Amino acid sequence: MLLEKYKIDEHNHRASPDHKRDFEFVAAKITNTKDILQKLEDFQIAIPSWALGTGGTRFGRFSGGGEPRNLEEKMEDVGLLHAINKSSGAISLHIPWDIPKNAQSTKALAAQHGLRFDAVNSNTFQDQPDQQYSYKFGSLQHVDRSVRKQAVDHNIEVIRHGVELGSESLTVWLSDGSCFPGQLNFRKAFQRTFEGLQEIYAALPDHWKMFVEYKAFEPNFYSMTVGDWGQSLLYANKLGPKAYTLVDLGHHLANANIEQIVALLLSEGKLGGFHFNDSKYGDDDLTVGSINPYQLFLIFNELVEGMDARTMNHASDLGWMIDASHNVKDPLEDLIQSVEAIKIAYAQALLVDTRALHAAQESNDVALAQEILQQAYRTDVRPLVAEARLQAGGSLQPLQLVRSLKVRENLIRERGQKTVATGL
């Protein structure tokens, strides 16, 4: 479904008086509004190609209808999202779920929608129908050299697809590990995995980055061969300057201090990118900011402080992506909410009085330090985020717009009720 710009303008026109009043109220208290709006406008969050369909659990999947049936329709959906929020100008492909049949035409279609290709993702956690060896007992860690070689070759093929599309990074997430004590020799598993990663690393183009994503558990429940940021950092450090750690918010044990992990990875120059989602218990893949928005703010506070300390570009020096699943919500609406939550946390972090916070920290003024953080967190920055969207040509009220235009109904009419997007 293509969205004519005048429909966004009409909707904005109706919402404008209320927005103007709210924006002026918050802007009156901020000195660097222009700078903040520019940063918000520049900050783009990639959408993974597997997030446009309905998600499921191992107990079932309840399709909402009108799901994209192929890569072109997935790009159309991300394009629609980007036209509305002007913040989703990139798509991240999972291979082999979304192999472009013709790279040139896929690139041309992306350009039409104003999209670029973010990291490409390999998949050695599932067996594909035409695959020679099984990943049942792991991929890069596998005891059998042929399985390891198949996994390495797959990753190199993913890089090749990425090169054709203009991607500049590869995300490797391995489900390797073990379900029972004694199943695996940890040392050998680590060494084999490292050797496989080395071969993949050697195939990276010069300007590419490799993200090593870690996960505490699932699908393996006793050990994961890249189970935490320590293991990921170990691999990344041993591999070399193009390798980085990728933080997926849902991949930690309960109550982990993710903001501290982020701060340390950043100061080591080894934080590569982010997968955003939210969770209550494990890797729940819920809408960003739906469960713990304060944690998200604290993470962004460390990101902004740490990136500024290294004079990094907030928008382009790290990879930003949503990695969530939509079991009971319309995927497009859910993504709109996730992007909005990310922008809100980012805007709040930009409001932190860093100088005052540093001074409070250096003088052990604990109460003041908390006050400074919460002053920013409790500011209603939604009008700033909306204004940045408006200035970029997007919608003041993305969710309301999608509903008033009956986007899902239109997609069901175009694509049908019973369509299934590739993914998990």
Per CB under 5 A, residues contacting Mn ion are 248, 275, 323
User: Closer CB to ligand PSV, residue 52 or residue 84?
Assistant: 52
Closer to ligand PSV by Cβ: residue 23 or 208: 208
Say if residues 210 and 140 touch (Cβ distance below 8 Å): no
Q: Is position 245 an interface residue for ligand PSV (rule: CB under 6 A)?
A: no
φ and ψ at 421, to 5 degrees? Answer: -85, 145
Cis peptide preceding 398, ω within 30 of 0: no
Q: Which does 356 bind (CB under 5 to 8 A by kind): ligand PSV, Mn ion, none?
A: none
In the window 291-350, what residues touch ligand PSV (CB under 6 A)?
323
Site for ligand PSV in 18-77 (CB under 6 A): 50
Q: How many residues bind ligand PSV (CB under 6 A)?
A: 10
Residue 218, SS3 per DSSP: coil
Q: Kindly state whether residue 248 participates in binding ligand PSV, applying the rule CB under 6 A.
A: yes
Q: For residue 8, which of 72, 85, 69, 62 has the smallest C-alpha distance?
A: 85
Distance CA 289, CA 327 (A): 16
Number of other residues whose CB lies within 10 A of the CB of residue 349: 24
424 binds, among Mn ion, ligand PSV, none (CB under 5 to 8 A by kind): ligand PSV
CA geometry: angle 271, 160, 146, nearest 5 deg: 90
Nearer to ligand PSV, 126 or 374 (CB): 126
Q: Which residues ranging from 151 to 180 are in contact with ligand PSV (CB under 6 A)?
A: 173
Q: Distance between CA 383 and CA 312 in Å, rounded?
A: 26
* One residue of 76, 213, 330, 334 binding ligand PSV per CB under 6 A: 213
Give me the residue whose beta carbon is nearest to ligand PSV.
Answer: 173
What does the DSSP 8-state code read for residue 116? E
We find the least distance from the C-beta atom of residue 258 to Mn ion, in angstroms, to be 14
Instruction: Identify the residue among 215, 270, 314, 408 touching ligand PSV (CB under 6 A).
Output: 215
Cβ-based neighbour number of residue 376 at 10 Å: 20
Which residue's CB is nearer to ligand PSV, number 119 or number 372?
119
Exposed / middle / buried, residue 59 (Cβ in 10 Å: 0-12, 13-18, 19+)? exposed
Amino acid present at 181: P
Which of residues 142, 209, 270, 275 is near ligand PSV by CB under 6 A?
275
Site string for ligand PSV, 173-212 (x = CB under 6 A): x---------------------------------------
Between residues 212 and 396, which has the closer beta carbon with respect to Mn ion?
A: 212
Gyration radius of the chain over CA positions: 22
Shortest approach of ligand PSV to residue 364 CB, angstroms?
Answer: 39
- Structural contact between residues 47 and 92, judged by C-beta atoms closer than 8 angstroms: yes
- Extended beta strands in 131-266, E state: 169-173, 177-178, 209-213, 223-224, 243-248
The residue to which tokens 């492909």 are assigned: 93
Residue carrying structure tokens 């208290």: 29
The minimum distance between CB 172 and Mn ion, in angstroms, equals 11
What does the angle CA 335 – CA 340 – CA 343 come to, to the nearest 5 degrees? 130
- For residue 397 the two structure tokens come to 């009220």
Closer by beta carbon to ligand PSV, 11 or else 326: 326
Q: Tell me how far, at minimum, the Cβ of 251 lies from ligand PSV, in Å.
A: 7
- Judged by CB under 6 A, the residue of 27, 356, 359, 424 near ligand PSV is 424
Q: Are 27 and 35 in contact (CB under 8 A)?
A: no
Which residue stretches of 113-185 are H helix?
Answer: 145-165
- Choosing from 77, 98, 259, 283, the residue that interacts with ligand PSV (CB under 6 A) is 283
Phi first, then psi: give them for residue 407, nearest 5 degrees.
-60, -50
278 binds ligand PSV (CB under 6 A): no
The residue among 23 and 173 lying less far from ligand PSV, judged by its C-beta, is 173
The one of ligand PSV, Mn ion, none whose footprint includes residue 215, by CB under 5 to 8 A per kind, is ligand PSV
Residue with tokens 């505490």: 216
Please tell me the number of Cα atoms within 13 Å of 264 on its side-chain side.
8
Return the number of the residue (194 or 217) whose C-beta is nearest ligand PSV: 217
Q: Give whichever of 320 and 377 is closer to ligand PSV, judged by the CB atom.
A: 320
Of 147 and 170, which CB lies nearer to ligand PSV in the complex structure? Answer: 170
Chosen from ligand PSV, Mn ion, none, partner binding at 190 (C-beta under 5 to 8 Å by type): none
Binding stretches for ligand PSV (CB under 6 A): 50, 121, 173, 213, 215, 248, 275, 283, 323, 424
